[in-house]
Chains A and B, each alone.
Chain A
Amino acid sequence: MKKCHITFQLNGSLREILVDPNQTLVRMLREDLGLTGTKNGCGEGDCGSCTVLLDDEPINSCLVLAAQVDGHKVTTIEGLADGDKLHPLQTSFIENGAIQCGFCTPGMILSAKALLEQQPNPSELDIRTAISGNLCRCTGYQKIVESIKAAANNCQGES
């Protein structure tokens, strides 16, 4: 199988890599690049735990081929913190008890980040809709929703 040569922005750095044409983005991130913060919960687009941002839009990275990100920008959970300074959503998830098993957390935070960038002051329904593709079996979503609200308020306060 002839490999594809792709170049893309990954968490702010330019990356070049050879990938199999049938390689999914989630497998490239996890297996070829060692970025295991992106989780693989189903491999078929149902659970949302592999959510990453592709050009700032949340996508299921199990449903995107690695070759498709050529020339684009990908953000994973590893790209959110600035050194040891966590992103406000990460801080909010920690402080408000939004994390239990943590397997959905990276995808959940990235979906929330995409939402807050488009809608800095979302309604509860906006938040619930934005994360409706990210399944969580532990929390009942309540503390996740509260965390996203709190992060939105904090960001508003800062700007």
Chain B
Amino acid sequence: MPKKQFDVLNTRAPRVDAAIKATGQAQYADDLNRTGQLYGAILQSPLAHAKIISIDTSRAERLPGVKAVITAKDVGLTPYGVSPARYDETLFASERVRYIGDEIAAVAATDLATARQALELIKVEYEELPVVLTMDDAVADNAPQLHDDYPGNISAEVHQEFGDVAAAFKECDFIHTHSLTNKRQDGGFIEPHACVAEYDHDGRLTLYTSTQVAHYVQRTVAMVTGIPIGRVRIVRPCVGGGFGPKCEATPLEMSASFLAIKTGCPVKLTYSREQVFLHSRARHQFFHEMTTGFKKDGTIMALDHTCRLDGGAYSSFGIATVYYAGSLLGAPYRLPNMKYDGTRIYTNKPACGAQRGHGGVAARACFEQQLDIIAEELKIDPIKLRMMNMMETGDTTCNALDMSSLGMKECVEAVKKSSKWQKKKGKLPDGKGIGMACGFFVSGAGYPIYRSDTFHSTAEIKVAEDGGTVILRSGIAEIGQGADTMVAMITAETLGIPLSDVRVDSGDTDYSVDLGAYSSRQTLMSGHATKDAAENVKAQILEVVADKLNMDVKNLDFKNGFVKVKGRKKLDFAKFRDYYRKEHRGWPNLPEGDELSFTEAARMAYLEKGTIVGTGKYKPPILGGKFKGAAVGTSPAYGGSAQVVEVTVDRATGKITVDDMTDAHDCGLAINKTMVEGQMQGSLSMGLGEALFEEVKFDEKGALMTPSLGEYRIATALDMPNIDTLIIESGEPNGPFGAKEVGEGAIMPTIPAILNAVYDATGVRITELPLTPERVLLALKEAGKNA
């Protein structure tokens, strides 16, 4: 795609929210305080599996300072969840608790200490039930059952076959089987969930909450409280990271809502760090087994893939996760035959959900390691093997994913060159290794979580009455990734005005419908809706200008804040300039010079038509295959990435140090180069953490053993090398200005690149994450390759 010249896009403009964040002015949910606010606390089960015999809240209710105590008796048992096909949760447990942390009651009191004290006064009588903590135990005959509606503890099953794997295997020269398991992971965002709910006597519920998906929270809260959706307003303040686990309505939000309704007072609830781990909804543990058939020339023919996912006690996003774990292997390599059998299993642990690279990260780690094994078997350079099988723009996968743009080959070439791969591969000293891998991800889920023809994003842009500021109002979720800046830049570029003239108000369900920050959807989808709204505003203003100045509207446009005229005709706008200056007598910075400004034009339009408001909308066209589950993995566009990693492995201690990382990502077009790099670098640090040390652990009773960021270790500044960060821009025809995802695809290659580098350093394949010194040392010992 030929590169377009941009005035605002494709630059390194500072984020629109950077200054408030640098000075402490930015307000996050827990920073908000409302007059007369109460503090809430939630009673959570101390047992992993038990019947509830009785709940006695009377002593708690009598404690001075307690304003409300609520249980299932008060709030009802409306089932909810993420996918309507899998509503398997209620706000509070009434008869049974299914994990340590399951919610039973909530309290609102005048201060937090009193609320917590009240929890201790709630008497719950339990009858303990046998606990299942592993998938093997959960699917064993006569295993204790978690949910009556899901026999055998099977949360979800997927069976798909594209092409004919058995027939293809017969044509293969080699067939190789490989397995990999990761560990349950945590989102590790630094801001714990928090919210404040208010309910007024007009029947309006307002919930300020740390969420990635205000829209879905609004629907769920409306459904569970029974309040009409038009009276439920979700406001998302600044959010301190999400990465997936903040993608669904939480017991925190619903407890705060019910407590506010019951007390008539604002109620604040904040998770402790331990409660963040207990709520979880983060990365599943996956057990992948992959059998890949290929020809001696390196052509990949078929993949037979099975996966089991430890889901925890409830479905959460799991139905999508189990599909993604299979479907995302359809690309970026040509793979004509693919069979997938996935099973998600319930256990008595906190529920897992979505996390960056949803469903695909462990699968990618397994498959990319297998590609290296095949390359070694065939004595082909691993990069060459990948390039031989790589898809290109215009290809369609066996599971009907359309590669409308795919800069994968460019990504691979870029990391190969920049990392000096050829000088290093096979030539590094003992204990040092180099590895590579590729990745691939959707630019937004092609379908909403609930079945609907809803628009995925709508946006509203209005112009201040003086014409000087353009205000974008959108439901998008700025969670740190830069969504506000992205839509501001698209607005400015589309309207032909400077970025500084755009103000973004976002994250309020009163502004627009936007499905939120998940599946790397906002740049493509919310970007489209924003562009559409800006085009609408521009057309309205130019129409008035053309009429007033007696011009053909086709010859008018805005650029850098001024009206531009095609052809030779000069605009005679003196009387409008004069009028504007008179209207704003005494104001600073009045328009001058020999060009008509956007400001004057927009004022002209206001005087003619009233407040100029433009709306925009986007939903993807009908996409993908017709088979069961085709909705998961289908997207209007796909991002791709390639990475090279260099490591040092200490054979005496098993300690791995990541020395160098080179990353290339095809984001279609970098709306903001600095922010694209930021997504890439952040993705790699999460991938490095998951590869080397992140693991949520439980004891034999199902109690969390890693309830803090001390015990659950994420990457620090000392763990991360500097990353050679390379942006590839393939130009996506389905994306606004050619843009597509970067937020999640960038994590995909990191783990397998590290695994492949560790093999290069040691000659040992490790198939279980994380690569702790202990695990690495044991693997080296087993292979007789320790120091």
Contact = CB atoms under 8 A, between A and B. Distances in A.
Contact of B22 (A40, A94, A140): A94
Interface in B702-732: 708-710, 714-718, 720, 722-723, 725
Contacts, number: 178
A44 B276 CA distance: 14
Interface string B476-509: 0001111000000000000000000000000000
Nearest to A130: B717
B30 A103 contact: no
Contact of B192 (A41, A81, A102, A141): A41
Given A39-B190, A77-B24, A97-B674, A137 B18 contact: no
B88 interface: no
B480 A42 contact: no
A35 B24 contact: yes
A138 B723 contact: no
A101 B479 CA distance: 6
Contacts of B273: 41-44, 46-47
A45 B273 CA distance: 11
A95 interface: yes
Interface string A75-96: 0111011000010001101111
Contacts of A77: 23-24
Interface residues of B, number: 57
B489 to A, nearest CB: 14
B23 A132 contact: no
A42 B708 contact: yes
A81 B22 CA distance: 10
B169 interface: no
Interface stretch (A2-10, A66-74, A142-150): A142-150
A61 interface: no
Most A CB atoms within 10 A — which of B18, B24, B189?
Answer: B24
B17 A102 contact: yes
Interface residues of A, number: 56
A109 B718 CA distance: 17
Contacts of A95: 14
A137 B24 contact: no
A145 B723 CA distance: 12
Nearest to B710: A46
A139 B190 contact: no
B272 interface: yes
B23 A78 contact: yes
A105 B677 contact: no
Interface string B12-49: 10110111111111111011010000000000000000
Contacts of B239: 101
Interface in A38-59: 38-47, 49
B773 interface: no
B23 A46 contact: no
B684 interface: yes
B509 to A, nearest CB: 21
B272 to A, nearest CB: 7
Interface of A: 30, 34-47, 49, 76-78, 80-81, 86, 90-91, 93-97, 99-106, 109, 127-129, 131-145
Interface of B: 12, 14-15, 17-28, 30-31, 33, 187-192, 238-241, 243, 272-273, 479-482, 674-675, 677-678, 681-686, 708-710, 714-718, 720, 722-723, 725
Given A41-B191, A43-B273, A109-B22, 19 more contacts: A36-B24, A39-B191, A39-B240, A45-B710, A47-B273, A78-B24, A93-B22, A94-B14, A94-B19, A97-B678, A99-B17, A100-B482, A102-B20, A103-B238, A127-B717, A135-B716, A136-B190, A137-B190, A141-B681
15 contacts: A36-B24, A46-B273, A46-B708, A49-B190, A76-B24, A77-B23, A94-B15, A95-B14, A99-B15, A100-B241, A100-B480, A129-B717, A132-B716, A135-B709, A140-B678
